[in-house]
Amino acid sequence: MGARIGYVLKVYPRTSQTFVLTEILAHEKAGLEMDIFSLRRTDDTRFHAALARVQSPVFQIARAGTKATLVLNELREHGEHLPQLWQVVRESSANAEDLLQAARLSRAIVERGIVHLHAHFGTVATVVARLAARITGISYSFTAHAKDIFHEIVDEDVLRKKLADAAGVVTVSQFNVNYLQRKYATAAANVKLIYNGLDLEDFRYKPGGHRPPLILAVGRLVEKKGFSYLLSACALLRSRGVQFRCEIVGGGVLEPALRAQLEALELGGLVTICGAMSQSDVKQKIRQARLLAAPCVHAEDDDRDGLPTILLEAMALGTACISTPVTGIPEVLRHEATGLMVEERDEAGLADACERLLSDQELCDRLTQSGRQLVEAQFDIDKNTAEIRTFFSTMTGQNLAPDPRSGNA
């Protein structure tokens, strides 16, 4: 068994995090040896078909029990095999659960020959990876997305320490890089932009300007997705006599409120809230839609989207897109070039943009052709994960970036 990378996630698998699954599969295709560690059990009831293609072993790191004596006894047992454990315990302000999961992860690191840990999201996954790296003496890195950067619950002092301690930090938009380096200065000096990506073989382009007048929206039903403004825009389209249907795919805490709004606006015959779907079903929906609307907003708790993967998927497949200038979205959706941009919470502007795309096949196809070119240039998962593996190699001093064309792929 060669040198291995450990991927640490709060929950694996998680249906909404297709970008993690795509990244893991691309690493495997290139021959990277990996172990996947999940700190919580998933509560998803359906999974993407691509999950079955993952070959890397997955380890569930059990959570601590409630009795302090049992936690202490287990830490003592781990300490017999991990010489640095008690020093880390003494110096850390982490809670008992995170410390025990870090100790359990550390045992796996030693047993599995793991040389580097990478966590997705700078929250509990990074907390545990950081502790385990200190216990075992290996390096760690993490990918910072959106909620772990912007949300009001982010502890800035803790995030500053994570940024400073990590051997490297990846984030998924230039907006995020600029924000972190402006806010955290030298602590964020090692933050690197590597975009999420798509397996373009799975996302074949076909221009969609001729498709029926279906408006599609996909995402968790939470405030930052802005779906309430899409419902209001649909009411405006109806009042203008525009022919359309709208489908919103996803589930979440705002589903009751959105259904109540739908009913109040009397949109039941035009708009459907479909619930969560598998990735293959979502792709099929995108291929059927004339346009995809992603009316993202800054939420009241300061949460926001980083760069929604659904926009990349739609652009790759040939579906025209509308979105808002939130965080990294303008890096991919360029107004009148690769899509149409409207301001946050601008229901009339959103309705205007939808009406344009519903009535102008030539505009749809022009935007999607440019969008596909941009995705191919900047969001190819094979190219972007090769960059991540080079990043890992730099941090570990070992060649962890095999050439996908070498025969290991």
Name the one residue in this structure whose structure tokens are 């550390």: 106
- Stretch 140-152: mean pLDDT, rounded? 92
Q: Per residue in 68-105, pLDDT tens?
A: 567 778 888 888 889 899 999 889 988 888 999 999 99
The class of domain 4-197+380-396 in CATH terms is alpha beta
Enumerate the CATH 3.40.50.2000 domain ranges in the chain, comma separated.
4-197+380-396, 200-378
Q: How many CB atoms lie within 10 A of CB 90?
A: 7
Instruction: Judge whether residue 307 has pLDDT over 70.
Output: yes
Average pLDDT for the chain: 92
**How does strand 291-294 pair with strand 114-120?**
unpaired
Sign of CA dihedral 54, 59, 62, 63: negative
- To the question of pTM greater than 0.95 for the whole model, the response is no
Count each helix (H run) and each strand (E run) in the chain, helices first.
15, 13
Q: Which two tokens stand for residue 46?
A: 């359906």
Q: Which of helix, strand or coil describes residue 224?
A: helix
Q: How far apart are CA 306 and CA 19, in angstroms?
A: 12
Cα separations (Å) of 38 from 11, 35, 366?
A: 5, 10, 43
Q: Per residue in 332-371, pLDDT tens?
A: 999 999 999 999 999 999 999 999 999 999 999 999 999 9
pLDDT value at residue 232? 98
pLDDT value at residue 203? 96
pLDDT value at residue 407? 42
Please give the single-letter amino acid code of residue 364.
C
Burial class from Cβ neighbours inside 10 Å (0-12, 13-18, 19+) for residue 304 reads: buried
Q: Per residue in 47-64, pLDDT tens?
A: 778 888 999 999 999 877
Q: Per residue in 281-297, pLDDT tens?
A: 999 999 999 999 999 99
Burial class from Cβ neighbours inside 10 Å (0-12, 13-18, 19+) for residue 377 reads: exposed
CATH of 200-378, one of 3.40.50.300, 3.40.50.720, 3.90.1200.10, 3.40.50.2000: 3.40.50.2000
Q: Per residue in 373-409, pLDDT tens?
A: 999 999 999 999 999 999 999 998 888 765 544 444 4
